[in-house]
Amino acid sequence: MNRISKSQLAAIMLIGDAFALFCLHGRICVMTAVGFAAGSLIQLFLALPLARLYDSGRTLADCGRAVRIALLAYVLIWGGSLFAMLWQTSSVIYIPYEGSGIWGRLLTGGLIAAVCVYVSSSGIKALARSAVIAAGLGAVCVAVVVVSAGIQSDMSNILRPAGSDLPRELIRGFAASGGLGSFVVLLGFTDSDRTDAAALYFTCKAVLSFVILFTAVMVTGGIMDVLDLPVASAAQLSQPFPVQRTDSLFLTVFAVFAVYTVAVQASAAEYLAARTFPCLRRFRCTLALAVMVAVGALIGSPSESTGIYAAAGLAVLLIVPAEALIKGGIRKHEKA
Amino acid sequence: MTRKEREKLPIRSGLRDNIAMIKELSGDSSDVLINEFTTGGIACALICCEGMVSSQTAAEMILTPVTGIAPQGSAAELFRHIQTNLLLSTDRPEVRDYDTLFRLLNSGFAVLIADGADCALAFGVQGYASRGIQEPSGEGNIMGSHEGFTETVRTNMSLIRRRLKSPELVMELMVKGERSRTDICLCYMRDRVPERLLDRIRRSLDGIKLESVLSTGYIRPFLEKRSFELFSSAGVTERPDVLCSKLIEGRAAVLVDGVPYAITVPRLLCESFHTLDDYAYKPYYAVFGRWLRYAAFLIAVLLPAVYTAIVMHHPELLNSTLLMLLADAEKDAPLPILAEALIVLLMYEMIREAGIRLPKPVGGAVSIISGLIIGDAAVKSGLVSTPLLTMTALAVLGGLVVPDLAPQVTVLRLAFLVAGGIMGVFGISLLACAVLTNVCATEDYGFPFTAPLSPFSAAGTGDTAVRLGMRRMLRRGFTVEAYHEQDK
């Protein structure tokens, strides 16, 4: 039985969220941290109908083809965005050969895709188990960065004029939550109470987002105007030892999280493709990753179309319950 | 009629026919001894395999009492008399076909056939030469028993029985291998082992269709999944005390005749880091030892790769003193560091292989040549830098701390080295993801190999991350079923 526990679901999803935060583009302030955390709690409320629906025994297989295609498209587009974010962020992280033009970028993307093919093909249980270990290691590394950042942070950065408001940061938070497509798929695999699972995940996500962004603001607040990638830069700037750099710690977490984030999207896409296009019997995962790389090369990162990504993310959470509601209404009408 | 069909034929009633058939089926092999004699007024023959029986036991326990029997009416009466009035051997099955007759003959039984009897009597009088019980060559232990398994399955069974005198300990003997007819023994504690696990192991063993079973390696693939797994999900031990502890935890074991090792199922990754000494020392020292082994494993696999990655791609990660030291050491080396590291590691593997395969007296010479001549000369000539040699030596030493994982450590060390040398820390991270997924995908009979780490089990950490005191350990009443995925 391919069932995962709620903590495994939370680990898988949080890795994706942490990766999206590492790649976050543009200015951030305390309001960003508040907006992202509040956005996670709003997402929790929006996810409750879906969790209830799954708890009542409904599965994605019961949904209409159009819903599954919409979900698949979203997952593939977000997967592509992840590659775009990866390439964008690697400009501030040293990856061998990455800087040598398009071929270097393709090599980086290709290597990650190759590992993702293997990780995804091992099955959802293996992915979930290994994601928990990766998330644990990631948590340790993030803790090291947060603690060392805390020592070197400047509290006055919190009070700097933000030039941003809560609704705008909420929308940014929604746009960075592209993993919601795979959440819709993976919630169906959870073996325990789905409402509990959703609550655990979104609560952890709110805390994680707040801690990471708040720390990044404290470290990079003073030089925010010259930074493209504040979270990644904050990790580089917050060195725990005076004569020893620990960038490799961040690079390791970054690469591992990149693999798991993309692999989760590929697994979700594979699952949806299998149920939507039964004629696709083999290489579904490879095909999904190829589409993601192509999409990543064509489109930009979510920071360029925040509104569209935010709206799509919220729609994904509501699409399955909405369809069930409409179908139920039609059935009632027919009976009447 | 084929040879196999003839072997399945029932034993004939005529003595001459029987002897002729046995000679024909054995190819008149020189080591099949047929001693003809008359007892109780009936012509008989005692058949045995030379070197497989104890001549003294056979003479004292069978020939002397059997030859002195008073005249009997028929062969059936003679056999009844022997069975009821004479206690010749504790193990004396009745034989009805040639297939069984040859299996018992080749297992050290003496078989008595009589003119007019359509069956034969076999007597266990084994007396073949075998190695005595010795200290295990691997799995070293300071405070525990110094007995290891031997090649004889019956001796191994007795070693287990001596330690677990419970009636719940069950040993099921079966024969595997069409040609080798190897005795295999499935051991388990009836009240501890999950019934489903036992059924599935029996099914796996039933699926064994081999000509011969010459080592545990012949059986293990049948007990594991078919997919590619870096780590084996069936464990091996050569210590009866370790095996007993595993049986008590609800695992099952398979003993193979001719092999001084037992296979245990299921196996978890954390077991590779446990030793029996952990339970002999105070918990704080056991915890220290255990974490030392975890660290040694990581050092064994990752140290050369991380060193190469840092020196080749991420020198900024070193502090200035260390950087200067390494730069000074590496500046005269003619080869790239990756090539240097690969050469040193492969050289070590060759030396190790030579040390294992060569006769023991030559092994010392290999150590001298490798340690003194090659190592010293390589550094002095500048072919290999001292820091790299130090890192490699540390990694090799780390691998020796966890001998159970030696094959995996060897291959992973080289793979990580190549990944780190080419793609730096990024490459190491990518390969780590693939390896981690492979390890987490390893699962046989519903027991995840990475338990209790992932899926996490708080109860399991009492004997993995730490080692609780014996009283608390016993209160847990732990069996391996606690890790079964489908039970959760």
Whether B429 and A126 lie within 8 Å, measured CB to CB: no
A133 CB near a chain B CB, below 8 Å? yes
Report if residue A1 sits inside a domain: no
* B398 confidence band (pLDDT: 50, 70, 90): very high
Reported for B478-481, long-range contacts at CB under 8 A and 24+ positions apart, including other chains, are B478/B249, B479/B192, B479/B194, B479/B249, B479/B250, B480/B194, B480/B249, B480/B250, B480/B251, B480/B266, B480/B268, B480/B447, B481/B194, B481/B197, B481/B250
Size of interface A-B (CB pairs under 8 A): 106
pLDDT per residue of chain A (336 residues) written in tens, 0 to 9: 578 999 999 999 999 999 999 998 888 888 899 999 999 999 999 999 999 999 988 888 888 889 999 999 999 999 999 999 988 887 777 888 776 777 888 888 889 999 999 999 898 999 999 999 999 988 988 888 788 877 777 777 777 666 678 888 899 888 888 899 999 999 999 987 899 999 999 999 999 999 999 988 888 877 877 888 888 888 878 777 666 666 777 888 889 999 999 999 999 999 999 989 888 878 889 999 999 999 988 887 777 788 888 999 889 988 888 888 888 778 777 777
Q: Which DSSP string do the residues of B358-390 spell out, in sequence order?
A: S-HHHHHHHHHIIIIIIIHHHHHTTSS-HHHHH
Among A52-56, B57-61, B62-66, B157-161, name the most confident range.
B157-161
Report if residue B40 sits inside a domain: yes
What burial class does residue A287 get, using C-beta atoms within 10 Å of its C-beta: 0-12 exposed, 13-18 middle, 19+ buried? middle
Whether B208 contacts B110, CB under 8 Å: no
B264-277 mean pLDDT: 92
For residues B161 and B253, membership in a common domain is answered with yes
Whether A134 and B310 lie within 8 Å, measured CB to CB: no
For residues B244 and B303, membership in a common domain is answered with no
- Of A5, A125, A248, nearest to B317 by CB-CB distance is A248
Whether B207 contacts B412, CB under 8 Å: no
- For A263, which residue in chain B has the nearest alpha carbon? B433
pLDDT over 90 at B414, yes or no: yes
d(C-alpha B266, C-alpha B220), whole Å: 11
Q: How far is CA B321 from CA A236, B151, B327, B476, in A?
A: 21, 56, 10, 51
pLDDT at residue B473, as a whole number: 81
pLDDT over 90 at B238, yes or no: yes
For residues B165 and B309, membership in a common domain is answered with no
Residues of B in contact with A241 (CB under 8 A): 319
For residues B57 and B34, membership in a common domain is answered with yes
pLDDT over 70 at B264, yes or no: yes
B26-31 mean pLDDT: 90
- Read off the amino acid at residue A230: P
A210: domain range?
A: 6-335
- Read off the amino acid at residue A94: Y
Report if residue A39 sits inside a domain: yes
Query: Which one has a higher pLDDT value, A221 or B336?
Result: B336
Whether B240 contacts B170, CB under 8 Å: no
Report if residue A289 sits inside a domain: yes
Smallest CA–CA distance, residue B294 to chain A, in Å, is: 15
pLDDT over 80 at B364, yes or no: no
For residues B18 and B97, membership in a common domain is answered with yes
| Kind plus residue range of the DSSP H or E element containing B398 | helix B386-401
d(C-alpha B478, C-alpha B451), whole Å: 14
B295-304 mean pLDDT: 96
pLDDT at residue A243, as a whole number: 61
Residues of B in contact with A244 (CB under 8 A): 317-319
d(C-alpha A275, C-alpha B69), whole Å: 81
Taking alpha carbons only, the member of A224, A22, A240 closest to residue A146 is: A240
- Cis before B93 (ω within 30): no
Report ipTM for this prediction: 0.91
- Of A5, A96, A260, nearest to B426 by CB-CB distance is A96
Whether A53 contacts A198, CB under 8 Å: no
For residues B356 and B210, membership in a common domain is answered with no
In a mutational test of the A interface, the residue from B270, B306, B437 whose CB has the highest number of chain A CBs within 10 Å is B437
pLDDT at residue A200, as a whole number: 95
Report if residue B54 sits inside a domain: yes
pLDDT at residue B488, as a whole number: 47
Q: How many domains would you assign to chain A?
A: 1
Query: Which one has a higher pLDDT value, B60 or B436?
Result: B436
For residues B302 and B164, membership in a common domain is answered with no
For residues B17 and B96, membership in a common domain is answered with yes
Chain B contacts to A (CB-CB under 8 A): 310, 313-314, 316-320, 422-434, 436-441, 443, 448, 450, 453-456, 485-486, 488
- Of B425, B430, B456, nearest to A248 by CB-CB distance is B425
Q: How many residues does chain A have?
A: 336
Whether B439 and A130 lie within 8 Å, measured CB to CB: yes
Q: B204: which residues sit within 8 A by CB, 6+ positions away? A: B222, B223
pLDDT at residue B150, as a whole number: 94
Report if residue B214 sits inside a domain: yes
pLDDT over 80 at B384, yes or no: yes
Report if residue A168 sits inside a domain: yes
d(C-alpha A28, C-alpha A223), whole Å: 11
Whether B430 and A111 lie within 8 Å, measured CB to CB: yes
Whether A251 and B425 lie within 8 Å, measured CB to CB: yes
Q: How many domains would you assign to chain B?
A: 3
B161: domain range?
A: 153-278
Point out the domain boundary residue: B124, B145, B167: B124
Q: A25 phi and psi, to 5 degrees?
A: -110, 145
SS3 A23: coil
d(C-alpha A59, C-alpha A256), whole Å: 30
What percentage of chain A's residues is helix, strand, coil (to nearest 5)?
A: 80, 0, 20
pLDDT at residue A224, as a whole number: 79
Taking alpha carbons only, the member of B59, B62, B84, B81 closest to residue B71 is: B81
* B486 confidence band (pLDDT: 50, 70, 90): low
Q: What's the token pair of residue B471?
A: 């009283």
For residues B96 and B211, membership in a common domain is answered with no
* pTM to 2 decimal places: 0.88
For residues B171 and B117, membership in a common domain is answered with no
- Of A123, A126, A251, nearest to B426 by CB-CB distance is A251
For residues B295 and B414, membership in a common domain is answered with yes
Convert the pLDDT of each residue in B247-261 to its tens digit.
Answer: 999 999 999 999 999
Report if residue A296 sits inside a domain: yes
- Of A95, A108, A115, nearest to B433 by CB-CB distance is A115
Secondary structure E strands in B42-118: 42-49, 94-95, 109-114
Report if residue A34 sits inside a domain: yes
Q: What's the token pair of residue B53?
A: 């029986």
Residues of B in contact with A256 (CB under 8 A): 429, 432-433
For residues B223 and B337, membership in a common domain is answered with no
Which A residues in the span 264-283 are in contact with B, Cβ-Cβ below 8 Å?
none
Residues of B in contact with A5 (CB under 8 A): 455, 488
- Read off the amino acid at residue B292: L
In a mutational test of the A interface, the residue from B436, B449, B483 whose CB has the highest number of chain A CBs within 10 Å is B436
Report if residue A108 sits inside a domain: yes
Residues of A in contact with B448 (CB under 8 A): 129
CATH number at residue A111: 1.20.1740.10
Report if residue B205 sits inside a domain: yes
Whether A229 contacts A88, CB under 8 Å: yes
Point out the domain boundary residue: B424, B441, B458: B441
How many alpha carbons fall within 13 Å on the CB side of residue A293? 19
| The CA-based dihedral angle spanning residues B385, B387, B388, B392, taken in that order and rounded to the nearest 10 degrees | 140
Report if residue A116 sits inside a domain: yes
Query: Which one has a higher pLDDT value, B359 or A73?
Result: A73
Convert the pLDDT of each residue in B106-160 to its tens digit.
Answer: 888 999 999 998 899 999 888 888 888 888 888 888 888 899 999 999 999 999 9
What burial class does residue B35 get, using C-beta atoms within 10 Å of its C-beta: 0-12 exposed, 13-18 middle, 19+ buried? middle
Taking alpha carbons only, the member of A14, A1, A9 closest to residue A187 is: A9
Report if residue B376 sits inside a domain: yes
